[in-house]
Amino acid sequence: MNLPARDFRMPRYDELPNVGLYLEQTVKYINECLSPLNIPVTSSMISNYVKKGYIDRPLKKQYYADQIAYAIFLVLVKQVLAMDHIASLIDMQKKSYPLPIAYNYFCMELEKKLIILFEDRDESPLHTDGVSFEKKVLYRVTSAVAQVIYLNDLFLASDTAP
């Protein structure tokens, strides 16, 4: 069974383009990054995120690493949370961690959860002693996103199976 999300790897913050991409280039880049997950992004989605203030306005119509990181996060997390909850997560992040650290942590946690699911292993329980509220929330969010990605991959593979 072909499971494209099995070996999915998120681009880390320092790998994101920081040269300024126009909207269509940004959409193309994000779609390429997320193609194994079969989660498409459109120009109108990105424009709406900007319009609602979830992503900073482009500078001279160009998007940079911060905006791309938030866009990738939004696209993935919107699979499991309402936008008002996602906005709360972003507010938490801004008060707790610089974006590059928070984004890379999200990437790492999501990849770990996907490996556990695709290898059919049990996830170790979250030990809450000394773990910040923000990390607990992110841990649960990445678990939920990974579950949706995993299930979508299974259904997609079963649709294409002979």
User: How high is the pLDDT of residue 35?
Assistant: 94
Find the largest Cα–Cα distance for the chain: 50
In this prediction, the residues of the chain whose per-residue pLDDT falls under 50 are none
Helix (H, G, I), strand (E, B) or coil at 88: helix
Measured between alpha carbons, how far is 10 from 12 in angstroms, rounded to an integer?
6
Q: What predicted TM-score, i.e. pTM, was given to this entire model? A: 0.91
Measured between alpha carbons, how far is 81 from 144 in angstroms, rounded to an integer?
9
**What angle is formed at CA 109 by the lines to CA 117 and CA 41, rounded to 5 degrees?**
85
The answer to whether 16 and 104 are in contact (CB under 8 A) is no
